[in-house]
Amino acid sequence: MKGNYGDKPFRGIYPALLTPISEDGKIKKEGLKKLVSWEMERGADGFYIGGATGECYSMDTEAREELAQTAINEMNGRGKSIVHIGAYSIRTGIRLAQHAESVGADAVSATPPPVYHYNIDEITEYYRILSEAVKIPMIVYINTMFTEKNVVSAVTRILELPNVIGAKFTRNNYYEMFQLSHLKGGKLNLLNGPDETLLCGLIMGADGGIGSTYNIMPDIYKKIYIAYLQSNIEEAQRWQFWADAVIGILLKFGQIQSMKYLFCRKGIDIGKAEKPGAELSQAEGKALMKKLKIIGYFHEYPELE
C-alpha cells in the first residue's frame, strides 16, 4: 500500500551498479550475475540499478529493462534494489517504473529531467507523475541539476509527495543535507551520493550511501559505515581516506573505464564503457594496476590483481 514503507528501509551501502553491456548494446547476463554476486559477497546491502554509473542514457529502453530484471533476479532477495528510471521522455520513465515494479524492485529513483531547464513547479509535477505510476516508493535524486538558490526550500514540495520516501543527495553542501534530514519529521530516508565524502554524509544525517566506486570496494565503504555506527570516527576516517586515494587514481584513467578494466581482466566480463567512452590502452591499464598496487588496493582485493 502506498506510503506504508516502515522506518527508513534503505540503509547501508548500495553500489551504483556498473552495466555489463556488449558493443551492440546487449546486456552481458553472465557477467552481470557474477558482478552482482561478487558485490553481495563483499558486503553490498543492495544496488542502485541503471543510473549514470550504469550508463543509462547511452542504453536502449529494452536493455535498461533487461538490466533491472537480471540484476534483481540474481539478487534473489539478498538486499534491496533501487531502479533508476530517469529518461529523456517521461513516457519512457513511466514504462521503466512500471517494469521495475513488475520485476520486484524495492523502489524507483530518478534524476531531475535531463537536458532542458524546468522550474520547480514543473519538476515537482515530473516527480508526481513518475511516483504515482507505481506503488513502490520513489527516491528523489538531488544533484546539481537543481539550480535554485535555496535548494532545500525548492525540493521540500517534491519530498512531501505521498510516494516519495527519500533522496539520494549528490551535492557538496552538507548543511543542505542536515536541513533535509529534518523533513518528514526526521523520517526522510537519505542516502549520500559523493563517494569521496560518505563519512561527511553519515555525520550530517545520511542513512547510508550510493556510489560508483562502491563497485570495486564495497566492503571498504561498509567498513566506513560500520565504524560510524560504532562511533569509531577515527577508523571511519582512515578507511574514507583510503577509498579517496583509490578514487584519485581512477579519475586519472576514467572511472567507469578503469572499473570495467579491473573486472574484465579477471574473468568477470562486463564489457567496455559505452561510446564515446574510450577503452584503456595496454599502457594505461598497466599504469593503473601499478598505481593501485602501490597504495595497497590488491592487498584488500587480491582476486582482482
Residues 254 and 280 sit within 8 Å (Cβ to Cβ): yes
Residue 140 CB contacts under 8 Å (≥ 6 apart), including other chains: 109, 110, 127, 155, 158, 159, 164, 166, 167, 168
Looking at 141, 174, 221, 225, which residue is catalytic? 141
Question: Which listed residue (168, 222, 223, 260) is catalytic?
Answer: 168
- 88 tagged catalytic: no
Smallest Cα–Cα separation from 192: which of 177, 180, 179, 182?
Answer: 177
3-state SS string over 114-135?
CCCCCCHHHHHHHHHHHHHCCC
The reply to whether omega before 276 is within 30° of 0 (cis) is yes
Contacts of 59 (CB under 8 A, 6+ apart): 19, 21, 25, 50, 67, 274
Can you tell me which residue has the cell 553491456?
A: 21
CB half-sphere exposure, 111, CA atoms < 13 A = 24
Active site residue 291: no
- C-alpha to C-alpha distance for 297 and 61, rounded to whole angstroms: 36
Residues involved in catalysis: 141, 168
